[in-house]
Chain A
Amino acid sequence: MLILECPYCGIMADETELTPGGEAHLKRATVGSTDDAFESYLFDRKNPKGVHFERWRHSAGCGKWFHAARSTTTLEVYGTYAAQVSEPPKELVAKIKKKCPGWEGWQ
C-alpha cells in the first residue's frame, strides 16, 4: 500500500485514493507508423527490477494524472511530478543517478 504525493494538490495520497496507469513517457504511435512500432507502443512495457517511471491518477482526489519515479524493489519513491512532460525532470534523473550508480537511465 503505497503513499505517493500528488504534485497537484500536495496530498500524501494513500494508494486507495489512486489509480495506477502503467509505464510513463510512452510515445504515441499512430497512423503512418510501422506495424512493429505500433505493436511496441501498444504492448511492449518495461518491467525493471529497480527504478521505474509510472503514471498514477489521484482518482479519489483532485482527479489529476501524475508521474512517479520509484524503485520496484525497495519501494523508495524518488519523486512525483506533473504528467504534462514527455520525459522526467532532469533534477530527478540526476538525483536517482546519484542514489543508484548502476542505473542505466530512464529510457
Chain B
Amino acid sequence: MSDAVSALAGAAYEGYCQVSDAGLTGMVTIRGDLGAAKVKAAVKKATGVALPGQGAIVAAKGRKLAWMSPDELLLFCGYDEAPGLTAALTEALAGQHALVANVSDARVVLRVTGTQAREVIAKLTPADVSPGAFGPGQMRRTRLQQVAAGFHMPDETSFEVIAFRSVADYVFTLLSNAARPGGEVGLFDG
C-alpha cells in the first residue's frame, strides 16, 4: 500500500490553534439495524469496540466507533487494517441485512488543536460546540460552512474533523483561516 497518499499530504497550519492533516486513516461504514442483538454482537466481535449510543463515539484498542445515524456506524482504525476489518465485519454480519464498506479513501481527517479549538469550529458550524453542549465522547454530523462534515473531540482541546476527500483543500483552508492570529474571539476563555 506504499502508493497510497492522503489528500492533504501532511499539510499543517500554525495559527492561534493548530490545523493539521491527520494522515491516512482507516474508516469503515457499517449499516445495519443497530438495535438488533446479532448486529451488535457481530460488530463488537469484529472490531473489539462496544457499540456507541445515539450521538456517541467510543474508543478502544486504538479504534473508534462512531454513531452516525440509527442504522449507521463509522469505524475509525489504522489505514492498513481497514480492508481486513471490512472483510471481517462482512463475514461477521453474514446472514444479517447489513452493508459494510471501506471508506478510508473517500474522506479526510483533520485535527484542530489548541485551547481555543472550540472557537475555531464555532466560526464554521451551526452546531453548538460550547462546553456543556458538546464534548469528548460525542460525535456530531453537521456542516462546516458550505460542506458536510463531522467531528468529535478526542480531548478538551482538540477536534477531529471528517470531511469528503474532494473538498479536503477547502476544509483545510477554511479551518486555517478561522484559526488565523488576530481572529481570537475569546468566547470560551476561562
Contact = CB atoms under 8 A, between A and B. Distances in A.
A60 B69 contact: no
B143 interface: yes
B141 interface: yes
B126 A9 contact: no
B55 A63 contact: no
Interface string B62-74: 0000001110100
B142 interface: yes
B70 A61 contact: no
Contacts of B126: 14, 16-17
Nearest to A82: B70
Contact of B69 (A14, A16, A17, A63): A63
Interface in A59-97: 59-64
Size bin of chain B's contact surface: 10 to 19
A10 B142 contact: no
B141 A61 contact: yes
A60 B70 contact: no
A17 to B, nearest CB: 6
Given A14-B126, A17-B126, A64 B143 contact: no
Interface in A13-62: 14, 16-17, 59-62
A8 B143 contact: no
Nearest to B143: A60
Contact of B148 (A9, A10, A14, A60): A60
4 closest residue pairs by CB, A with B: A62-B69, A14-B126, A60-B143, A61-B141
21 contacts: A8-B69, A8-B70, A9-B54, A9-B55, A9-B69, A10-B54, A10-B55, A11-B140, A14-B127, A16-B143, A17-B126, A17-B127, A17-B142, A17-B143, A60-B143, A60-B148, A61-B141, A62-B68, A62-B70, A63-B72, A63-B141
Interface of A: 8-11, 14, 16-17, 59-64
Interface of B: 54-55, 68-70, 72, 126-127, 140-143, 148
